[in-house]
Amino acid sequence: MTTKISIVLGLIIIASLVADIALFGTVHVVFLGKRFYELIDWVAFWR
């Protein structure tokens, strides 16, 4: 992955989080964070 691609992906992720917080509040971000943590834990188990 080149530096340009990683910067663009990072900006897309940050922009989507800002839009989600602005439109719906922080409840969704907390929910997605918990689910992402469970996914990482599950993937680490199968590693």
Q: How confident is the model at residue 27 (pLDDT cuts 50, 70, 90)?
A: confident
**What is the distance between the alpha carbons of residues 26 and 44, in angstroms, rounded to a whole number?**
27
Domain span at residue 23? 3-46
Number of domains forming the structure of the chain:
1
Contact 20, 28 (CB under 8 A): yes
Cα 46 to Cα 40: distance, rounded to the nearest angstrom: 10
Q: What is the pLDDT of residue 44?
A: 86
Q: How many residues does the chain have?
A: 47
At 9, the pLDDT band (50, 70, 90 cuts) reads: very high
Mean pLDDT of 20-39: 89
pTM above 0.75, yes or no: no
What is the phi/psi pair of residue 2, to 5°?
Answer: -80, 165
Paired tokens of 14: 């940050």
